[in-house]
Structure 1
Amino acid sequence: MKDMSAAQWRPFLSSFVKELTQNLTPTLLAQVMRHSGARFAHDRRLAPAATVADMELAMNLVWREIGWGEVIIKEAPDWLELSHRNAPLEATFGVDNQAWSVAFLEGAYEAWMHQLGADPRLRMTTANALDVSGSMVFRFGQ
């Protein structure tokens, strides 16, 4: 397989994002990204996880392999909070497109949670698209 460096992809992705944003609504773009994230997760199945720490480790193995940062998972009374940092979404799609590009992570995380046995009625939502530390926060629950 040939080397696929970021420099090779920048011109293509820049043109592709411009075309997408000119022809699709933000809602449709978010749906496409969410479905893409779910497909990504289905293609990269996680190891079985009995604890939240096991889930975090399994997810981070995937993210580290592709250079997509890391996730920290915290338990709250009614949901799990996932803080993802250093994903290349802003660098790839631009700061103006964060509202829909973060849906990729929503879709991936939700699919992984369901794969690991979570109730299919539970959903992943974005709690904070990008904070000052560069983290995106998601919540998994009702």
Structure 2
Amino acid sequence: MSAIVSYFAEQQPSTQWRDFLSALAQEFEAQLDAAQLRELMARVGERFAANHAVGECDSLDAFAAALNAIWRELDWGFVDLVETDDHLAIHHFCAPLAAFGPNSQAWTPGFLEGAYQYWLRELGASSVLALTQVAVDNPLALEFRLANEEADHRS
């Protein structure tokens, strides 16, 4: 939690876009359902990632450093990568997605999901690996897991 406190101590969230993003989100929600909005945000995330290359990463630490350099430059929080026996966990802290308003939590994380999926594919992640968001207790954190989707269907 101290990393989150330190992050907010160094950053001042911009208010210049808050009302605009809230109105934009309200219009999006009037036109599309949450699944369609999440898909749209994932495509936006892919475009974003295509414009912000992580470069060559020969280790998980190098990948995390490249991601954090991108997010730090844009005041978009920070990421921690954790490798386990059956998945890679991507913990993204302090993303400014709340600027879209209180009803947007179901679809705005699609942006990060699309960006991370793009970068992982660029680094050679297999197409049988799927990136999905998982629920966490921390309201300032999002977690995505890269795991073998075929293994999830074997029970």
Query: Same fold by TM-score, threshold 0.5 exceeded?
Result: yes
Aligned partners of 1:8 and 1:68: how far apart in 2?
A: 15
The alpha carbon displacement at 1:21 in A equals 0.7
Q: How does 1:1-142 map to 2 (within 5 A)?
A: 6-90=14-98, 92-128=99-135, 131-132=137-138, 134-142=140-148
Gaps of 5+ in 2: 1-12, 149-155
Give the drift of 1:96: 2.0
TM-score (ref. length: structure 1)? 0.89
Shift in Å, 1:133: 5.3
Superposition deviation, residue 94 in structure 1 = 2.1
RMSD of the alignment, in Å? Answer: 1.5
Matched residue SS, 1:125: strand
Q: Identify unmatched segments of 5+ residues in structure 1.
A: none
Q: Structure 2: how far apart are the matches of 1:133 and 1:17?
A: 20
Could you list the structure 1 runs, at least 4 aligned residues long, displaced by more than 4 angstroms after superposition.
none
Deviation at 1:140, TM superposition (A): 0.8
Q: How many residues align?
A: 136
* 1:14 CA drift (Å): 1.8
Percent identity for Structure 1 against Structure 2:
36
Distance in 2 of aligned mates of 1:137 and 1:95: 19
One-letter amino acid of the structure 2 residue matched with residue 9 of structure 1: W
